[in-house]
Amino acid sequence: MQQIVNFIVKYKYFLFFLLLELIALIFTVQSHSYHKSKFVNSANAITGGIYKRINSFKEYTNLKVYNQQLLDENAYLRNLLAQQPVDSMLRLKKMIDTTKYFQQYSYLSAKVYRNDYHKKYNYLLVNKGSKQGVKPDQGVINGKGIIGITNTISKNYATVLSILNGNSKINVRLLNSYHFGTLEWDGKDYNTLQLIDLPIQATIKIGDTIITGGKSTIFPEGIPVGTILNFKKENNAYQYINVKLFNDMSAIGPVTIITNFDKEEIEALEETITK
Cα separation, 233 vs 48, whole angstroms: 46
Burial of 9 (0-12, 13-18, 19+ CB in 10 A): exposed
Residue 25 contacts other proteins per CB under 8 A: yes
Stretch of residues binding other proteins (CB under 8 A), selected from 35-43, 76-84, 212-220, 260-268: 35-43
Query: To the nearest whole angstrom, how small is the minimum distance from the Cβ of residue 41 to other proteins?
Result: 6
| Number of neighbouring beta carbons within 10 Å of residue 166 | 15
Task: Choose, by CB under 8 A, the member of 6, 8, 11, 24 that binds other proteins.
Answer: 24
Using CB under 8 A as the criterion, what x/- string covers residues 179-208 for binding other proteins?
--------xx-x------------------
Stretch of residues binding other proteins (CB under 8 A), selected from 46-54, 69-77, 197-205, 267-275: 46-54
DSSP-derived 3-state class of residue 41: coil
Query: To the nearest whole angstrom, how small is the minimum distance from the Cβ of residue 17 to other proteins?
Result: 5
Residue 89 contacts other proteins per CB under 8 A: no
Residue 63 contacts other proteins per CB under 8 A: no
Query: To the nearest whole angstrom, how small is the minimum distance from the Cβ of residue 111 to other proteins?
Result: 16
Question: CB-wise, 94 or 188, nearer to other proteins?
Answer: 188
Distances (CA, A) of 77 to 59, 72, 98, 139, 175: 24, 9, 23, 19, 18
Cα separation, 29 vs 125, whole angstroms: 21
Task: Choose, by CB under 8 A, the member of 7, 8, 21, 74 that binds other proteins.
Answer: 21
Task: Choose, by CB under 8 A, the member of 17, 107, 240, 261 that binds other proteins.
Answer: 17
Phi-psi category of 191—alpha, beta or left, where left has phi over 0 and alpha has psi -120 to 50? alpha
| Number of neighbouring beta carbons within 10 Å of residue 248 | 14
Residue 269 contacts other proteins per CB under 8 A: no
Residue 121 contacts other proteins per CB under 8 A: yes
Using CB under 8 A as the criterion, what x/- string covers residues 225-254 for binding other proteins?
-------------------------x----
**How large is the C-alpha radius of gyration of the chain?**
23
CB-based contacts of 29, cutoff 8 Å, min separation 6 = none
Task: Choose, by CB under 8 A, the member of 6, 7, 8, 32 that binds other proteins.
Answer: 32
Residue 59 contacts other proteins per CB under 8 A: no
Distances (CA, A) of 231 to 144, 177, 185, 193: 23, 17, 15, 12
Query: What single-letter DSSP state applies at residue 252?
Result: -
Task: Choose, by CB under 8 A, the member of 3, 5, 9, 13 that binds other proteins.
Answer: 13
Angle 113-115-118 from CA coordinates, rounded to 5° = 155
Distances (CA, A) of 76 to 11, 38, 70, 142, 163: 66, 37, 10, 12, 23
Question: CB-wise, 28 or 74, nearer to other proteins?
Answer: 28
Q: Which residues bind other proteins (CB under 8 A)?
A: 12-14, 16-17, 20-21, 23-32, 38, 40-42, 44, 46-47, 50-51, 54, 58, 116, 118-121, 123, 125, 159, 187-188, 190, 250
